[in-house]
Structure 1
Amino acid sequence: MEGSANSKRRRGLGVVTPNACTECRKKRAKCDGNTPCGRCASQKGIECVYEVPVRQSKEHMRSEIEQLRTQQRQSERVLAALVSTDRSEQVLDQLRSGETLESITHKLDHTTSESSGGGGNVTTFSRLSDHQAIGQALKPARSIGSSPASTLAFSDSSGVPHTLPTGTWPAWGGSSSTEMPNEDADMMRWDPDTGPSPEQGHTYPLVGGWHHQSGSESDSTIQNARGYGQETILGIPFGMEENPNQEHPNQNETWTRVTSDGALVEHLMALYFCWEYPTFASLSKEHFLEDFRTGNERHCSALLVNALLAVGCRFSEQGEARANPKDSNTKGDHFFAEALRLLNEQQDRHVLTTIQALGLMSIREASCGRSSDSLFLSGQSIRLAIEMGLHLDINVADSKESEIEHAVRSATFWGAFSLDQAWSLSIGRLPHFSRDTKLATKPAIVDHVESSAWIPYTDDGAPLERSCTQPSNVRSVYKTFCELSEIVHKSLYTLYSPGTHVTSKSLLDIYTQYLKWYDSIPTTLRLGHNFTPAVLFAHMYYHYAILLLFRPFIKLDIVSSGVSPRDVCSQAASAISTLVNSYSQLYTLRRTPSFVPYFVLTSSIAHVVTLGNARGGPELLKQGIADLKEMTGCHGFAIRALDILRYLIRHWGVNAAIHSLDDLEEEREEGMGDREREGERGLCRPKSTSLNQFCPNVESVDVVNGIGSVGQGDNPLFWPFPLQGRPLLDVGLGGELESGGFRVLP
């Protein structure tokens, strides 16, 4: 099929002249491209003139713009070095000696790369003001790991002392002094604060400088910005302007019957690869796009394309991205319905692209707030991956085809595996994959893929005046995220394995593995070096995993250890809030990966607990509520999360004057329209049509817990959602709790 598609395209290009003369264009006649052409030569008094092709002129303009940007970047780079404290004299001497800006910039970048070990794969800025503003937005997030390392020792039941690695948080109420990290190790060389403080608020994102509203610029500007963004994100064959004398190079019209608009399809694909990819990604971007372009069904299918477009619609405000153009709640419904139709028509689902599509459909349903549907689709994805043996390494022969096959199989398995761990962690259950089975090798890191640029892309395209150029580091992010998922997998078996109960030693052993992972992440993925959405998401997920590891034990204390579950939960929740705040300032929360509202809900519940125990103020909780409100346009689950917070605040009797929730209730009542208005007792209840796993309001009619009533105080475990699993921990009266290394807090 690939050969036939390519041969067809070659025949078309051979017959039609890409650039016809002006006279032939007027007459809509075929032009042979000669000078003069045969038609003009056969007629008297006709001048044969060829205009410069639109695409060629735009390429020339882009080349000139890129040269100007390079010169501007070099000037700003030298100015940034002049205002620094360690390189100003050196740069000044170079300028006095007559060195060019290009030469000085090259030496500065080369020196920075050597000192950081980044190999030149670094973030660069075109303007000093952008450098300072972005540094200001990231400063709180970078300070998360800059506290002095606390070496917290503990003893297990045998009395053998153990020590946690560096990187742990200081104990609650401990010293608040901090040390700034070694500035020589910071590739971005942050300058003193000159930007606006977070308290001042922000209307537009720092990275990019475009507005939120589609159509805020002229149509031609948006078209150019989209073409530039798609070429950067999807590759050169994409983002090409349509030429009436040249057939479109991509075969996207064969992949979906929902729309015949090829430009819309590529636009939604760019949105997905910009904001959601690569975390939880079960497809290999390079191989998918190649087969999408050529029409090959080896690594691309109509099911996979429609599932991907359904996810991409979550980041668009265009009417074409909605099943009902007037209803924002129908984003992607038409593409998702088509994906479901294709899925139900399949006789055999043991296909790589089907497993990949199931993962994307699960992510989309998680964004919409349909947790049970998302869990089902995710479960189907990992089960099929195991049945196909994707968790097993295949013998890679010395051929390119074998390497491609291994890369796609590996990406498919690890995407399904990571998504299954995330859902299992969120609802408290054992994962679908066994504890001790050897896992497949992770996708290899490819240099040219790592160094490919990431730029923000929206309905208005990508900003032609870039605030900064970031390397995507897409393979490093994916590999590191998969390693974190492996630790999550181990933690789930520690908490929920039948036949054994959780001990303080096993709990702290898992905690130690998380801390070691954080200490060992590549330098290029640390905050300050790289701040793409995927990097920020990975840091959020790390703190989310630690919060859910200790949350069941929040009413317990660990014997013979300085690690307090209550303190760790509070500090992890604060870290998530800080990271989300940085993300909001950089990109806004209108375009966030699908699991971010789950992170914000979990951290906000921890803030409710902290506030209810009079151990903190309402500021972080207010921020969480505001963050969820901003995400409601992108993620339907954010609306459910706000209902959950409102219910828990009232149910737990947390007396805090949070006007945001009162405003939210009024907005919710106004937005319900003719739908049935639920009372307070009806909030967050499970329904027979779709069981809501995130349901704090459960009665005996929903779940039968046992015979008789449960005595007050018998179970010290903190778990706000009764439908979720609890760790297997002995909590009887015979001293089992103490033998496991725990005790109830006073």
Structure 2
Amino acid sequence: MDQEPAPQPQPQSQSRPTLTSKPKRTVTLGACVACRKRKSKCDGNRPVCTCCAQKDTECVYELGPNEKPSQAMKRKNEEMQGELSNLRQLYDFLRLRPEEEAIEVLKRMRSTSPDVPPSQRIQELADFVRHGNSLIQQRLHTPPRSGPGHEPFRPVTLPPLRQALDSSGTMESYNLPYLGIHSMGYDGPATQRRRYIQDLPARTDGQSSLPRPTSIEAILQTPSSAAADDLVADPRLGYIGNWTCVTDDTGFLAHLFTIWTEREHVYYHFFDREAFLADLSCGRGDFCSELLVNVVLLSACFHSSLVKDRNKPFSETSIQTSFYHEARRLWDLEKDRDSLTKVQAGMIFYLAMAKYGRDRDGQRFLLEACMTAQNLGLFHYEPTHNCITPSHVSVDRWKRARAVTAWAVHNFQLSMSITYSFPVIIKNLPSLPIPYQDTDSLFRSECELHTILLDCVGIMQDYEHTVLQDAHSIDRIEGCYSRLRSWWRSRPDSLDPDKHPSQVHLLCAMQYNVNIVKLFRPVVDRKTPSEQAAPYVARARCVISDSLREIRRLVNLHDTHHGWSNAITFVIHGITVASFGTLDDMSNRVSSPPQTETDERYGGLVTCLRALTVLLSYSYYAQPIFRLLTQKCKTLGVKLPAEVQGALDYCTSEEWTKKAAELVSSQFIADTRSVSNDCESSTMDAVISRWEHFTLDDGQT
């Protein structure tokens, strides 16, 4: 019998069952919107995927063909940046341009076809503002300089964000249309950031991590586009570089002036803006000067995130210090000269020094500004030789500029007198009528307020001679209180902080209540009120408590609507009064209130503390106030929120304390209740000088 041959070993691969291979799955980068909602598998076919074709539904893709999600994110950021920039330009155009030009844009807005997408219509309106109106702007603002190196006006062209992100080499140069502005290529914005932007590392020069306030605008809008927007809104700012030798970066200078207008001038109204810009663009010196421009830029640096070390006074690496030295040099050159611009510069110089925490040093600038104003006849009812209108200036513009300056210096020195507890410098009203009778209701309203405050300031500062047994003293207090309340109730609806909660309206409302607190403070701070005076002391406490509650409400409104990263820095005063007043109110209670944010007083105090932690990141003077406030909280056993700990560690460090003792020269009194005991030892420089000898744990103030 024949044997069958032995089976031969088979390869391993042939020993397994054969599997049917599936077609390779197509990778779809991005499913359409409908498939994502249905959680269906989308094959990515365009313009309509198979699934949508079968179900007869609309097929829309958020990603472009062969576009990755990261690329789509860049594209969306570019679109958001473009739309934000367009909206900002439209807003600034409507706010800053003459009424007839603004009305033309409004007409175009209202003529929008319903078929046009909103983003497209916004782009068309922005293009009209940028380019369609450029011929009008050129006719209105003829450049004063010409010659080699000075290019004619050209449309604005900025590098797209997507191209900037994707580019690995030098991009095409993007030119801006105004004199003195450098062509800005790929390294333009980065160079500017290296020069101006303040980055806050964990520890740099002994500085611990401070809050870095951000906003969607700060994230999406580059410095270069912000500068271009400022120049488009008012091309006259293209000439600001002619008035300073600190830097020739016109875009940066225009940015500083614009942000200063929004964060300081809007509240203080130091000068007639139109007269200033007209002279700035034409090279005249009646309403503009190198001194005034450099002081404005110095003060503006506090408000710009592009400025390095803006919360470190006199930093050698900050351009702000260069503006300070240039302004001081120009001030000395104008020592024996009287002019409107010197009055205005003196006020702004004082404010800048106060923000440095050196209001004592700034006093000389304010005193000289007031003296110059009197020399110019702004407070004299008899005509002087300084009242004569220059032949090249219209009578209306001259009168308006003088009136604005007179009322600005009157309001400012009176407000600073109340804030920093020094005697009023000018004790009579301006000889000129309040300007802007048909416009600017805010400035006129503030002038009316300070007319009342001039009669009240004596009571606010009269801690030694307020005799509560004297009916005359009580009548004076009640008379001022009644006038203040009547003024507040008569304000136009356009200034109502609840209906129109802009930063300046909220600040004005805070200051109104601060003035009421200061009016009644001497009454409740008397050491031993008599039995006869007790009822009126109780009334004063009630009025103060109501005003403090209102300030806390306004602080919460500000926190909700605006945050604190771009605040008008004078808001620190209202926050300080509310904070220390609230602590006094809490300490006077028989039983301790629940320290939770549901308690109105404690919640308001926490909001004030959080606000200061942001403000101190760009306003140095908020730092010692924050430390003093947290110190008092600790003394009274008030719980501090965890998020303020980083700022607290920084402001209580040995290095910070030593520098503060060297820097601060201030007569500001934060804890007003201590005034009745010893005014001089209660000033901030006196308090800080004592900090060198103890730590926060000592619980002393």
* Distance of aligned partners of 1:419 and 1:720 in 2 relative to their CA distance in 1, 3 Å threshold: farther
* Corresponding residue number in structure 1 for 2:491: 521
Structure 2 stretches lacking a partner, 5+ long:
1-85, 94-103, 116-211, 468-472, 594-600, 684-701
Say which of 581, 586, 593 aligns to 2:568.
593
Following TM superposition, by how much is the alpha carbon of 1:325 offset from its aligned partner in structure 2, in angstroms?
13
Following TM superposition, by how much is the alpha carbon of 1:306 offset from its aligned partner in structure 2, in angstroms?
0.4
Look up the equivalent residue of 1:212 and give its one-letter code.
A
* Corresponding residue number in structure 1 for 2:414: 421
CA contact (8 A) 1:323 1:331 kept: no
Following TM superposition, by how much is the alpha carbon of 1:489 offset from its aligned partner in structure 2, in angstroms?
1.5
Say which of 328, 333, 337 aligns to 1:349.
337
* Corresponding residue number in structure 1 for 2:63: none
* Corresponding residue number in structure 2 for 1:289: 277
- Equivalent pairs counted in the alignment come to 465
* Distance of aligned partners of 1:74 and 1:281 in 2 relative to their CA distance in 1, 3 Å threshold: farther
* Distance of aligned partners of 1:555 and 1:497 in 2 relative to their CA distance in 1, 3 Å threshold: closer
* Corresponding residue number in structure 2 for 1:641: 625
CA contact (8 A) 1:323 1:332 kept: no
Task: Give the distance between the partners of 1:225 and 1:491, measured in 2 at CA.
Answer: 43
Following TM superposition, by how much is the alpha carbon of 1:585 offset from its aligned partner in structure 2, in angstroms?
2.6
CA contact (8 A) 1:313 1:332 kept: yes
* Distance of aligned partners of 1:438 and 1:380 in 2 relative to their CA distance in 1, 3 Å threshold: closer
Secondary structure of the corresponding residue to residue 658 of structure 1: coil
* Distance of aligned partners of 1:231 and 1:531 in 2 relative to their CA distance in 1, 3 Å threshold: farther
Task: Give the distance between the partners of 2:464 and 2:217, measured in 1 at CA.
Answer: 56
* Corresponding residue number in structure 2 for 1:477: 442
* Corresponding residue number in structure 1 for 2:434: 442
Task: Give the distance between the partners of 2:110 and 2:498, measured in 1 at CA.
Answer: 22
Deviations 1:283-303 (A, max 9, x none): 110100111111111110000
Deviations 1:341-384 (A, max 9, x none): 11012242311111111111112222222221233322222222
Task: Give the distance between the partners of 1:559 and 1:326, measured in 2 at CA.
Answer: 49
Look up the equivalent residue of 2:396 and give its one-letter code.
E
Say which of 212, 219, 223 aligns to 2:218.
212
Task: Give the distance between the partners of 1:668 and 1:499, measured in 2 at CA.
Answer: 34
5 Å-filtered alignment, 1:63-142, equals: 70=110
Task: Give the distance between the partners of 2:568 and 2:609, measured in 1 at CA.
Answer: 18
Task: Give the distance between the partners of 1:440 and 1:491, measured in 2 at CA.
Answer: 22
Task: Give the distance between the partners of 1:354 and 1:225, measured in 2 at CA.
Answer: 30
Say which of 484, 497, 506 aligns to 2:476.
506
Task: Give the distance between the partners of 2:464 and 2:581, measured in 1 at CA.
Answer: 30
Say which of 523, 539, 559 aligns to 1:553.
523
* Distance of aligned partners of 1:396 and 1:478 in 2 relative to their CA distance in 1, 3 Å threshold: farther
Secondary structure of the corresponding residue to residue 218 of structure 2: coil
* Corresponding residue number in structure 2 for 1:624: 608
CA contact (8 A) 1:306 1:335 kept: yes
Look up the equivalent residue of 2:444 and give its one-letter code.
K
Task: Give the distance between the partners of 2:474 and 2:522, measured in 1 at CA.
Answer: 13
Look up the equivalent residue of 1:691 and give its one-letter code.
S
Following TM superposition, by how much is the alpha carbon of 1:280 offset from its aligned partner in structure 2, in angstroms?
2.3
Deviations 1:678-722 (A, max 9, x none): 5xxxx987x6x7532136799xxxxxxxxxxxxxxxx99856854
Residue 648 (structure 2) pairs with residue 665 (structure 1): yes
CA contact (8 A) 1:336 1:361 kept: no
Following TM superposition, by how much is the alpha carbon of 1:676 offset from its aligned partner in structure 2, in angstroms?
6.4
Q: Which has the larger radius of gyration?
A: 2
* Distance of aligned partners of 1:439 and 1:536 in 2 relative to their CA distance in 1, 3 Å threshold: farther
Deviations 1:447-476 (A, max 9, x none): xxx4xxxxxxxxxxxxxxxxxxxxxxxx21
As a proportion of its length, which structure holds more helix?
2
* Distance of aligned partners of 1:716 and 1:261 in 2 relative to their CA distance in 1, 3 Å threshold: closer
Following TM superposition, by how much is the alpha carbon of 1:534 offset from its aligned partner in structure 2, in angstroms?
2.3
Deviations 1:230-267 (A, max 9, x none): 544xx3544xxxxxxxxxxx432320000011111111
* Corresponding residue number in structure 2 for 1:654: 636
Residue 283 (structure 2) pairs with residue 309 (structure 1): no
* Distance of aligned partners of 1:390 and 1:312 in 2 relative to their CA distance in 1, 3 Å threshold: same
Task: Give the distance between the partners of 2:306 and 2:460, measured in 1 at CA.
Answer: 44
* Corresponding residue number in structure 1 for 2:540: 565
CA contact (8 A) 1:358 1:381 kept: yes
* Corresponding residue number in structure 1 for 2:559: 584
CA contact (8 A) 1:551 1:718 kept: no
Residue 567 (structure 2) pairs with residue 574 (structure 1): no
Deviations 1:388-410 (A, max 9, x none): 22124668999971211111111
* Corresponding residue number in structure 2 for 1:607: 582
CA contact (8 A) 1:427 1:724 kept: no
Structure 1 stretches lacking a partner, 5+ long:
1-57, 76-202, 239-249, 451-474, 699-714, 726-746
Task: Give the distance between the partners of 1:434 and 1:326, measured in 2 at CA.
Answer: 34
TM-score by length of 2: 0.58
Following TM superposition, by how much is the alpha carbon of 1:427 offset from its aligned partner in structure 2, in angstroms?
3.2
5 Å-filtered alignment, 1:236-251, equals: 236-238=235-237, 250-251=238-239
CA contact (8 A) 1:362 1:377 kept: yes
CA contact (8 A) 1:577 1:620 kept: yes
* Distance of aligned partners of 1:429 and 1:224 in 2 relative to their CA distance in 1, 3 Å threshold: closer
RMSD: 4.1
TM-score by length of 1: 0.55
* Corresponding residue number in structure 2 for 1:404: 397
Name the % identity. Answer: 19
Say which of 541, 548, 551 aligns to 2:511.
541
Task: Give the distance between the partners of 1:324 and 1:608, measured in 2 at CA.
Answer: 29
Look up the equivalent residue of 1:302 and give its one-letter code.
E
Task: Give the distance between the partners of 2:562 and 2:311, measured in 1 at CA.
Answer: 26
Look up the equivalent residue of 1:487 and give its one-letter code.
I
Secondary structure of the corresponding residue to residue 530 of structure 1: coil
Say which of 471, 490, 493 aligns to 2:458.
493
CA contact (8 A) 1:554 1:718 kept: no
Deviations 1:526-575 (A, max 9, x none): 12443332222211211111111112222468566697222222222222
* Corresponding residue number in structure 2 for 1:692: 666
* Distance of aligned partners of 1:604 and 1:594 in 2 relative to their CA distance in 1, 3 Å threshold: same
Look up the equivalent residue of 1:410 and give its one-letter code.
A
* Distance of aligned partners of 1:204 and 1:499 in 2 relative to their CA distance in 1, 3 Å threshold: closer
Task: Give the distance between the partners of 2:448 and 2:480, measured in 1 at CA.
Answer: 14
CA contact (8 A) 2:224 2:251 kept: no
Look up the equivalent residue of 2:587 and give its one-letter code.
G
* Corresponding residue number in structure 1 for 2:143: none
CA contact (8 A) 1:684 1:697 kept: no
Look up the equivalent residue of 1:641 and give its one-letter code.
I
Residue 422 (structure 2) pairs with residue 433 (structure 1): no
CA contact (8 A) 2:403 2:432 kept: yes
Task: Give the distance between the partners of 2:311 and 2:665, measured in 1 at CA.
Answer: 25
Bigger relative contact order, structure 1 or 2 (CA pairs below 8 A, ≥6 apart): 1
Look up the equivalent residue of 2:334 and give its one-letter code.
Q
Task: Give the distance between the partners of 2:463 and 2:637, measured in 1 at CA.
Answer: 39
* Distance of aligned partners of 1:426 and 1:211 in 2 relative to their CA distance in 1, 3 Å threshold: same
Look up the equivalent residue of 1:693 and give its one-letter code.
Q
* Distance of aligned partners of 1:324 and 1:536 in 2 relative to their CA distance in 1, 3 Å threshold: closer
* Distance of aligned partners of 1:576 and 1:223 in 2 relative to their CA distance in 1, 3 Å threshold: same
Task: Give the distance between the partners of 2:671 and 2:570, measured in 1 at CA.
Answer: 22
* Corresponding residue number in structure 2 for 1:166: none
CA contact (8 A) 2:228 2:251 kept: no
